[in-house]
Every structure is written in C-alpha cells, then in structure tokens.
Structure 1
Amino acid sequence: DALHQCRARPWGLNNCNHREDAGVVCSDSQLEITAKVRLVDGPHRCAGRLEVFQNNRWGTVCGNGWDMNDAIVVCRQLGCGIALSAPVQAHFGQGSDPIWMNRVSCIGTESSISECLSSSWGIQLCTHMDDAGVECSVLSEDTSTLRLVNGPHRCSGRVEVFHNQQWGTVCDDGWDMYDAMVVCRQLGCGEALSATTQASFGRGVDPIWLDRVACTGRENALTQCRARPWGVNGCTHQEDAGVVCSDKNITSEAAQIRLVNGPSRCAGRVEVLHGGQWGTVCDDGWNIQAATVVCRQLNCGGAESAPSGA
C-alpha cells in the first residue's frame, strides 16, 4: 500500500547520482477531469471560488441555481471530502475571467461537474457578483492521524492522535472550543458543539501525546496548533479531552457504522450501531463490493481490501 513497505537499501545508502532519478507515469483516468476544476481565494485548496478550465482559460461559474448537490460533485472531483456549503454572490470574491457555466444542475452522484446539466458554455447571464463557491472538508494525510472514540458515532468521543506508530490521548489542560472546532473541521464532522474534559468519554490506556493544545480555531489539523512537545505532560487519563461535533454532514446511515482497531479511521474491523449498541459483521459473503460501500459511506476513498477471519 505504500512505497516504504517495499524492500530497499537503508535510507540514504546508494551509489547513484541524480541522472538516475526514477519516475512514474500512471493512467489516472480522472486526472484530466480533475485538473479542469479549482477553488481559489479560499482559506485552503478545498474552499473558495469555483473556477473551471475551458478554451485554455480559467473562468467562473454563475450562482444561479447553485446548491449543495453541485458542491458535493466538486468536492468529490477534487478529492476534498464532504461538501460543507455552496455559497453564492461572490462569497470568496469576484473573478475577472469569463463566466463559463450557468444554471448548473447536478444530482450529486456525478464524478465531474462536466457531467452535470447546465446552460451552454460561455453564455453569460450573470455578472461576477454572482460567482459560485464551494466549501469542502479537507481530507488530507492528517485525517488518518486523528479519531474520536467511545462516542455514539465517529463525530463524538475521546480525542486520540496517532504518533510514533501508536494512538494516544490529549490532555484537557487548556482544552476549549477553539480546539474542538479544529478537530471537527479536520474530520469533516460539522460544527463543534462542546469540548469535553475529565475523560467524559472514558479513560484512554495509551500514551498521552498532547498537552496544552492552543488552537486559534482556523487551523485545518490539530497538529498545526500550538502545544507542548509530543509526550511531554503532567496529566493522567482522568484528564483525557473529548469533542462533540454537530455531525450535520454525515447522514444518519453513515453515523451507524465505524472501523475500529485499525491503523486509521479508514481501516479496521467493521462495526454497526443497532438498538443503541455496537456490533460486528460476519464475514460470510463479505467481499470487495461490500467494502466499497463501507468506504463510500465513511468518505474514505476507494476500497483496497475486504479482509475476513477477524
């Protein structure tokens, strides 16, 4: 699954020069489509004014009829996680290039905005005051290093971070709503409702990795916030921090499933919530098609395997 898992000489040991640098060409059938859409003038690459590439020139999209179904397609196309909002009226500033698309009407399942119904390209019935935007949650490498456990769903629970190949907790010294806001944003879990303290979701048993976390609330990942050095703290697990997020972007069905005991929130034993209690799934007939549904439901990308036998 990763290059560093392959056999090789120890790091840095070689008798090569840069004339021997290796490269790769992948088929990536989605690359050409994805490269024709971007979000600009936003706080990060997954939020901003929507622009599309046509006739060798970037242009904007009119906000007439622009809605969450359209934003869902853009977020999927850019690999940006969950659509949080579909702002209009130049929320991210006015563009200055052509207005390429108008009256876009996606159903939400398309893989590219070019597959959605719209008026003919380049017919301008708008001004740049109507430029459409998109705000998506950010799915990055950091997403797999953060999780919420022992809560009723994946968007509520004790905060745990992955460091040095081991999960650990966060001390509640200074833990507040700004910190919770970052956690909820990083996990694509909507708005922060509370920043819990005193091990309200149970005590962890692993290392206490972070202490004195001090986020401004604008960071995209908890690791971007100020904190004491990894593992340095004077805490006990009685002080484990937690978070409750609004979970407004997860469907009721998605909130009933989780992956546990794996290396990240997107790998592990499948558990479903029924009758107020979590339970497992038997592997009889379990296959990659079933895994594909689970990965889609949890916004975890493509399914890589469907292991059985516990």
Structure 2
Amino acid sequence: WAAVFILLVSFTIPTSTDKIRLMYGINSCSGRVEVLYNGIWGTVCDDGWDLTDAAVVCREMGCGDVIEAKSAAYFGQGSGPIWMDDVNCTGTESSLMNCRTRGWGTHYCQHSHDSGVICNLTVRLVNGDNSCSGRVEVLYNETWGTVCDDGWDLTDAAVVCREMGCGSAIGASRAYFDQVPGQMWMNTVQCTGIESTLKSCRSYGIASCSTAVTLVNGTHSCSGRVEVRHNGIWGTVCDDGWDASDAAVVCREIGCGNATEVKSAAYFGQGSGPVWMNNVSCNGTESTLKNCVLSGRVRQNCSHEKDAGVICGPKLRLQNGSSSCSGRVEVLHNGIWGTVCDDGWDLTDAAVVCREMGCGDAIEARKGAFFGNGSGPIWMNNVNCYGNEQTLKRCRSPGWDVQNCNHYKDAGVICQCESNTYIKMRLITLPSRTLLVLVYTLD
C-alpha cells in the first residue's frame, strides 16, 4: 500500500539553546523570555521590547517567525535577576545575547515588566476532538506536512504533547485522524522522549506513506461511497463480500462512530478511476481498511456498478427545529448526546454544522437556547471553527464536558434548506373579542 522513499541520512534539526527558554506559554514556542547568565536564570525587561527583538528569540528557539511581542508580564512574573533591559536587536542576530542592552544585570525595571513572545509554532494537531488531539503536522519550508507512522510510538507522541503544552501523551494512534494528500515531512521518527520539539528527534527524511479513506456523495460527512487513495490516485471498493464488519472499520477510521447501514451496487453513485479493493474481509477490529485481508487490489472482474458504500451513525443532530436543517445543535460523545454552549458561537461555526448535516449554507447562528433548552451534558464551549472543517468536532474548543455554561445558552442553527418563510402567531385583544392572527414573515 505504501511506496516509501527514504533519504538515508539521519538528521536532527536544532530547535533551542541551553541559554534561553520560554516559560509558562501555551506551548513550547510561547512564554516569558528567560536567559541563563552565570548559571542563573533571569528575565528580560520589556523597556523597548518589540517585534524585532522577539523575532531573534523565535529564531533562536527554532520556532519560526514571531507573531507577537508581549510585555507587562503577560505570561506571569518571573523571579530572580532581571538580566537584560533596553534590548535593541537589529533582527539579524543569531542569539538574543548578541543584541545591545544596558549590560548584564543593569536595569531600571521590575518583574511586572517581564517580556514574552508568541512564535509561529512548527507543529500542530489537526482533526482531533480538541486542541490536544489530532493528526500530527509539522511546518518545514513554510509548508505544513504530515508524519509517517512507521515506528510511531508513545515516546514520540510524548514529545508532541509536551511541545504543544498538552501534558502527557495518552495514546499514539496510526492513521486515526483522517489521512490527507500533500507533503509528508518526517518518516521513522525516533525520539528519546526528552526532546523539547518533534523536530529535535532523529528521523530518516521525507517519505510517501499510507493510504487515505473518504466517503463521497453521501447526505452528510458520515455517509457515502467508499473511496481509497493509493499511490496518489483515488479509487473505489468493489462490493463483492462487502459486509457490516468491513463498513464498521471504515466508519471508525474516519471518526464516524458505528456503521448503521452497508450499501452496495453503487448506492451513492458510480465512482471513476481504478477499483482498488475487492473481496475485502475485515474482522471488524482493524484500525484502517488497508489492514483488512483482501483477495486483490485492481480487479478486472468488478465495475463501478458495484461500488461499495456505508452509512455511519451520526455524531451531530439538530433538535426542535421546524425541519431537519434547523434546530438546537447536539453532538454525540462517549455514547451520550449533549449540547453546545453559545459562547463565541457564530456563522462560521454554524456553516460547519450545516455542511456536516448536508443542509447547504448557514443562514443564521442562533444563541440563547432559541430552539429550547437541551438536557444532559454540555459537551462543547467556545467553539472556534476556521469554516473549512468537515465536522464540528474537528473545530477548536477547550475540550469536552463544559462546566461553566447552562442550557439556556444552547447554540442552534438555521441552514439554507430550511424554508425562509416563518409563521408566527399573535394574540390581539380587542374590546369585543380576541383574534388569533397568523403573521407570515420572510427572513
């Protein structure tokens, strides 16, 4: 399944120095700036601290470009000496210590003026349930790429979690968070576990690895014709022998829960290109479809009239709306349905919901339990979608199980396929009678 091209040169990219560190940031590339002098760690005063100075720190830390230069102890007050004041870098220095200052330990400053930086992080997690889970991607040559799972283990995952400011690693998954086309930057990663960044770990160059699975032409993101990518080309799966065990593996691999229906005979329309898999025989426990037993890949005795498909159990629903494309947003997590808090809820977030539900564009993002109060847990809060996510769960949020919100703030949506005509009832009391008036309004 994988054509792996390996550059047989082990390399290590230095990403930091033992003379500078960033403290109490949200990840390894943000925090209060501290420098080591005479064996003692101390801080940097924010007098004159600007983007040029911060850029030197980011480059020295191996953290790419600077995003923000922070002042006034943004990341908390440090302790010990204030080693540097009135820092004045030209921007070309290789180390902050090479920039002009008043002199070591000479300052007119307090720790309430400790400086900090936010740099462009060179690792990110994509398509996870929250900001601390997902597919590992690294930034190299200004391009985001993935990491091949050859040899990927909990030691490697631990470095990523620490770099992201996410604590300890719970699991190291392979091809679990959806596979994507594009550049793969690292292969056969070998971390010792003490590295501060993933790029500090040994690896063996650039590789092309693994296959991808997606669902096409379904009514929502968790249904459709099964397609797999092999050698960079998308193709279909023949329905010979296609059953519930095979479908279950696909649903789990794309993060769509359990399989509810097994479809055959091009139920979701005929695909194009090669028929990559035939007579698939999964036992149901495999993590990816490519791990299932099959009698062959490209088969001449199968046509696109027999393309296989699946319908997976939804992880999103709209409740109490006037149609299937409007209502209170509810998500399924750990087998339990719960709501979404409306803190930060906007049209971009609603657009992801509408697309996931197969309901076209979003018309309105509703707040304040517009569709009534839900019940059970409030699973998500402060949802922050880019707008191009396939599912709501892939948007950024602080994590599952919200404790600082109530159901009177349940979020809702009205999507495009919802009728633009609404009927409102109004009671008008006159001296002699009460009239029930139906008011039609176009939104």
Q: Could you tell me the TM-score, scaled by structure 1's length?
A: 0.46
- State the TM-score, normalized to the length of structure 2: 0.34
Structure with larger Rg: 2
**Structure with more helix by fraction:** 1
